[in-house]
Amino acid sequence: GEEVAQTPKHLVRGEGQKAKLYCAPIKGHSYVFWYQQVLKNEFKFLISFQNENVFDETGMPKERFSAKCLPNSPCSLEIQATKLEDSAVYFCASSQGVTQQPQHFGDGTRLSIL
Amino acid sequence: AQKVTQAQTEISVVEKEDVTLDCVYETRDTTYYLFWYKQPPSGELVFLIRRNSFDEQNEISGRYSWNFQKSTSSFNFTITASQVVDSAVYFCALSERGEAGGTSYGKLTFGQGTILTVHP
């Protein structure tokens, strides 16, 4: 499609439950990025993919976070055993190239952990 | 490590005033890319401009203009004749080529954002 599509828009989970977020990149874009925005302002990079391969995972918390981009499926970000501090807006972005081309962002998924 | 600083946390102006949003960056790479994004109250992130490190020409797009100065590591954004619809959080971001090593290749490093409020 012409836009990055993120689902769901809102996700509410109890502490300790699993959360799974989805992202369909713009058609033809090879790179997918996940970012976490907390407190409305601060962005934290989580992970990037080149097609279905992990490109950079230096921002991913090792223990509870995982992500995949499989062929012919939306990319996904999964958080196991959620904690209160996981509450944030999670943005997915896609781009044609890894640095020069701009990253186009989805509308985000607001994750609320109760 | 790369860093982006937007020192202005909040700016409040009256409609039709000009406003400049400051952005200062740090990087060891010689090839890098700078971006501005707008986040309106609805929450989405809107791409505004990209500038690469070899192109110091200023750019104007309608009421928006950008001033890139490598000598001061700044990439400032000016809105001329501001409008209420310009009210949003504006983010400056940096993407490195990765020449200086490290693990920053490709990802965007964002500044803290500047909240712009334009009053009627």
pLDDT at B11: 98
Q: Cβ of B107 and A59 within 8 Å?
A: yes
**Between chains, do B35 and A102 touch, taking CB under 8 Å as contact?**
yes
Q: Compute the average pLDDT of residues A77-96.
A: 96
Nearest by CB to B47, from A41, A104, A107: name it: A104
Cα–Cα distance, B6 to A107 (Å, whole number): 23
Strand residues in chain B grouped as ranges (E): 3-5, 10-14, 19-21, 24-26, 32-39, 46-52, 59-61, 64-69, 74-79, 88-96, 109-110, 114-119
Contact check, Cβ <8 Å, B43/A89: yes
* Position A72 pLDDT exceeds 70: yes
Residue A53 confidence (pLDDT): 94
Percent of chain A with pLDDT over 90: 86
> For residue B67, what pLDDT band results from cuts at 50, 70 and 90?
very high
Alpha-carbon span B75 to B111, nearest angstrom: 12
Task: Give the Å distances, CA to CA, from B32 to A97, A101, B54.
Answer: 13, 11, 8
Cross-chain Cβ contact B43/A31 below 8 Å:
no
Query: pLDDT tens across B29-47, in order?
Result: 888 999 999 999 999 999 9
Across A68-72, B4-8, B52-56, least confident range? B52-56
Say what the pLDDT of residue B96 is: 87
Contacts of A63 (CB under 8 A, 6+ apart): none
User: Is B40 in contact with B47 (CB distance < 8 Å)?
Assistant: no
Average pLDDT over residues B98-120: 83
CA distance B52 to B74: 13
pLDDT of amino acid B100? 57
- Please give, rounded to a whole number of angstroms, the shortest distance from the CA of A63 to a CA of chain B: 20
